[in-house]
Amino acid sequence: MLKFKLLTCQQVASLASDYLDNCVDGKLNFKIRVHLMMCANCRRFVKHLKLTKEVAPKFINEQQPVNAEAILQRIKQKKL
């Protein structure tokens, strides 16, 4: 018999980033893991959030190039 109140999906969804970033304490971490063992929807939600956290920054690193030379010229003009 469980001696604590189970988390709801809404609570797990709110805490998912904290869980992935290891920002939840041991007791809460355990409660989240118990919920994930029992809930396929939340397992998928956390898995997709983890994938997003991993993939999105790689896409963004390839965003539009910066015209660094023009910026450097402006810096030098401003210093004159």
Partner 1 sequence: MTTSPPSTYMDNMDEQAFITALIAGDDRAFCEIITRFQHTMLSIARAICGDTFADDVVQDAWVAIHNNIGKFEQRSSLKTWVITIVSNEAKARLRRESRRISLEELDGEAPGSYLDGNNFKSDGHWQSATPMWNCESPEELLEEKQLQHCINKTLNLLPPAQKAAFMLRDIEQQSFEEICEILQVSAANVRVLVHRARLTLMQVIDRYQETGSC
At residue 61, what is the residue type? N
78 binding partner 1? (CB under 8 A): yes
Among residues 21, 25, 26, 27, the one that binds partner 1 under rule CB under 8 A: 21
69 binding partner 1? (CB under 8 A): yes
Q: How far apart are CA 49 and CA 36, in angstroms?
A: 14
Q: Which residues bind partner 1 (CB under 8 A)?
A: 8-11, 13-14, 16-18, 21, 23, 41-42, 44-45, 47-49, 51-72, 74-76, 78-79
